Amino acid sequence: LPQFFCSLIYCLIHVSQDSPLVLQSDRNVTVNARNHMGQLTGQLTVGADAVEAQCKRFEVRASEGGKVLFSADEDEIVIGADRLKVTGTEGAVFGHSVETPHIRAEPSQDLKLESPTRSLMMEAPRGVQVNAAAGDLKATCRKELHLQSTEGEIFLNADTIRLGNLPVGSFSSSSSSSSSSSSSSSSPSSSAPRQTIYELCVCPNGKLYLSPARAGSTCQSSSNICLWS
């Protein structure tokens, strides 16, 4: 192989057909691009530890069609591949916001959005749609879960809507006994039939509770559930 100990300046370097072009150095290989004034405009350095590129814009294009697969400049980084796959065990970490029109999991895999130490927020000017076509949708939190609509409504549409672990309030025909405890006023006697039908009541502060169903409404704003909530 030819060796050059000083600068080599050529307008074109090519090799014979079906032969590779090899640039080899025991330190690194650097390719520079300069303008007509001799100023450095681009640089590619291949070293033992890293490959570095210094330029205004870096692009990786597909061999067929010239589609941009990856590009980077001072303002943004664009990944133009049809699918971005992150194989690391810790997933992808974003320091700030993530903007995307669609998030989905791999086939037969669950999609999980989680914030272990802070809150999770999804925003869109024209709505956010969460769809689980072949499975369950689960939202859990440690403290409070807020469903808020500033101008519209919250619409629950399902064959069965269940509200678990609702407290059972007491019912008394007189207002004086409405604040008595649930265990003392709602516990049936041994001969009384078992209560199986309840009325869903709402306290003035919005808390839901159950009240034994009667011929008329048994919901009371002075229920022990409302007074102690």
Distance CA 94, CA 26 (A): 38
pTM of the full structure? 0.50
Structure tokens at 148: 């808020």
Consecutive H or E run containing 43:
strand 40-46
Nearest Cα to Cα of residue 186 among 220, 136, 139, 138: 220
State the Cα torsion 161-164-166-171 to the nearest 10°. 60
DSSP codes joined into one string, 109-145? -------SSS------TT------TTS------SS--
Task: With beta carbons less than 8 A apart as the criterion, state whether 83 and 66 touch.
Answer: no
Kindly report, residue by residue over 26-63, the tens digit of the pLDDT. 889 999 898 999 899 999 999 989 999 999 999 999 98
Kindly report, residue by residue over 58-109, the tens digit of the pLDDT. 999 998 888 999 999 999 999 998 888 888 888 788 888 888 888 888 888 8
Kindly report, residue by residue over 124-146, the tens digit of the pLDDT. 888 888 888 788 888 888 888 88
Query: Collapsing DSSP states into helix, strand and coil, what is residue 18?
Result: coil
